[in-house]
Amino acid sequence: MLDIKALRADPEAVAAQLKKKGYELDVATFSSLEERRKAIQIDTEQLQQSRNSVSKQIGAAMKAGDKDKAAELKAQTATLGDDLNAAKDQLNEVQGAMESLLEGIPNIPHASVPAGKSEDDNVEIRRWGEPKSFEFTAKDHVDLGEALEMLDFEAAVKVTGSRFAVMHSDLARLHRALTQFMINTHVDEHGYSEVYVPYLVNAHSLKGTGQLPKFEEDLFKVPVDKESGNNDLYLIPTAEVPVTNLVRDEILGDINLHKKFVAHTPCFRSEAGSYGRDTRGMIRQHQFEKVELVHVCRPDRSEDVLEELVGHAEVILQKLELPYRTVILCGGDLGFSAHKTYDIEVWLPGQEKYREISSCSNMADFQSRRMQARWRNPETGRPELAHTLNGSGLAVGRTLVAILENYQNADGSITVPEALLPYMGGKTVLAKA
C-alpha cells in the first residue's frame, strides 16, 4: 500500500512514477473521493463529539440526582443518534472505497529501475560462468529424467492431475539434497536464521504481503467453514507470506534492525492464466519446493540489503557451478508489490535459454504499511515502518532441472555436482538401475 499522505500531497507526482510501471493512476477519482472523505469525516467526528459531551452531562446530572435535567438532555439527543449513524455509514462507505482504491495501486518503482514494457526490456547486470558446450545433442530434463525412470509425470496425472511431478530414488534424493545444501549454506555462511512456518495461511497474511485482494485467482483456497466461508485458509504461493507476516503488527526494538530468515517450504500456485505456457516438464508446477530468504531492515539499509540478498542467492549457483545471468527488471515487468527486483536466470541447455530461478525484491515499505511492521527508530524514538525484502535462494525444482540438463553425460547419466556429494550417501552419478 502506498502512503496516502504522499498521494494527498501530490497525486500527479505519484501518478508519474507509477507510469513507469505501466499503471495509470486515476487522479480525478482519487481527489474527489478524498474530498468527500474529508468532509464526511469531519462531520462525523463533530457529531461524535457533541454526543460524547451530552452523554457526559447526562451522567453528571444523574449523579447529582437531577432527573429532570437528565430527561431534558436526553430529549436533545433524539435525532443525534440517527444523524450519527447515518454519518458513520457514509464514512464507512467512503473509507472502504478509499481503501480498495489504495489496495489496488501497485508499489512505486525505484529510480534505478529501467523503463520498459515486458521481460524483453529487462537489463542484464552481469553473467557468471560459460554455457557448457556438449559433444552430443543436449537433452532436456524431461527426456533425461524419464529415461532414467526417476521422473514420472504420468503417475502424477493419475494421482492428482497435470502440472505435478513424481520423483523416484536418486533423483528424489538429489532434490532433497539440494534443499539441505541451500539451507545450510544460508545459515552457516550467510548468517540467516532458519524458520519453519505453516503452509496454510489466513487471508489477513495474504493481504499483508499483497497477494490479496487482487490476486486471489492465483491461489489454492481451502474451505474451513463451508457455510460462512469466513475463515478460509490458503495454501502458500511462497514462504514469503508466512515468513514476512511474522513481523506483522510488531514494533521491533532492535537498534540496528535487521532480521534475516531462511525457510524451506512447498509453494502452491493455481497458475490460472498461464495455460499453454511451460506445459512441458517441471518448470511451471502447481506444487514446488523453494528455499526463501526474507529480510526485515531499517529503511535506509534496504538498498544495500537487496544487493546482499541477490549475492546470497547467486552463491548457490556458483557453488553448484551452474552458469547464470542477473537482470534488473524493467518497470513493466516489476511485480505488484515490488520497488526493485533482480531476477537470476540459470542456463538451461535443453532450451538453450536463461530461465528465471530466483527473484529478489525490495518491497520497501509497501508490505510493512499493509501489515504494520514497524521498528522503533532510536533517533526519533517513534515507531516507523520497516522495509521488507525477499528472494528465492533458490527455487529447488528449477535448480534440479538445471542440474539435470547441465550435468548430463552422453549416456544419459547425470554427474552429481561436487557441492552435493556430502548429501548423496556416496552416489556420484545418477544412472539407470
Q: Pairing state of beta strands 200-202 and 166-167?
A: unpaired
> 205, 359, 361, 368: which is the annotated catalytic residue?
359
359 in active site: yes
Please indicate whether residue 50 is annotated as part of the active site.
Answer: no
The rounded distance, in Å, linking the Cα atoms of 94 and 355 is 45
Is 325 among the residues known to form the active site? no
CA dihedral of residues 274, 277, 283, 286 (deg, nearest 10): 30
CB of 365 to RNA, least distance (A): 12
Q: Does 228 count as an annotated binding residue?
A: no
Closest CB to RNA among residues 47, 329:
47
Residue 353 CB neighbour total at 10 angstroms: 11
Say how far apart CA 210 and CA 198 lie, in whole Å: 18
Asked if residue 384 belongs to a known ligand binding site, the reply is no
Binding residues for RNA (CB under 7 A): 4-5, 38, 41-42, 45-46, 48-49, 51-56, 58-60, 62-63, 74, 77, 80-81, 225, 230-231, 374, 382-383
Check the annotation: does 271 bind a ligand. yes
The single residue of 119, 146, 216, 356 carrying the catalytic annotation is: 356
Instruction: Catalytic residue, from 36, 127, 248, 284: name it.
Output: 284
Active site residue 398: yes
* Cell 522495509, residue located: 387
Distance CA 37, CA 33 (A): 6
Nearer to RNA, 121 or 232 (CB): 232
Q: Name which of 5 and 226 has its Cβ closer to RNA.
A: 5
Q: Which residues contact 108 (CB under 8 A, 6 or more apart)?
A: 2, 14, 17, 18, 21, 339
Does the annotation list 124 as a binding residue?
no
> Min. distance of Cβ 180 from RNA in angstroms?
22
User: Hey, which bits of 298-420 come out as E strands?
Assistant: 324-328, 340-348, 353-364, 374-376, 383-385, 387-395, 414-415
As a dihedral over the C-alpha atoms of residue 141, residue 142, residue 147, residue 150, rounded to 10 degrees, the angle is 90
163, 173, 269, 374: which one is catalytic? Answer: 269
Q: Is 359 annotated as a binding residue?
A: yes
Task: Quote the least distance from Cβ 224 to RNA, whole Å.
Answer: 7
User: Which residues are annotated as part of the binding site for L-serine?
Assistant: 238-240, 292, 392
Residues recognised as catalytic: 269, 284, 356, 359, 398
User: Which residues are annotated as part of the binding site?
Assistant: 238-240, 269-271, 292, 356-359, 392
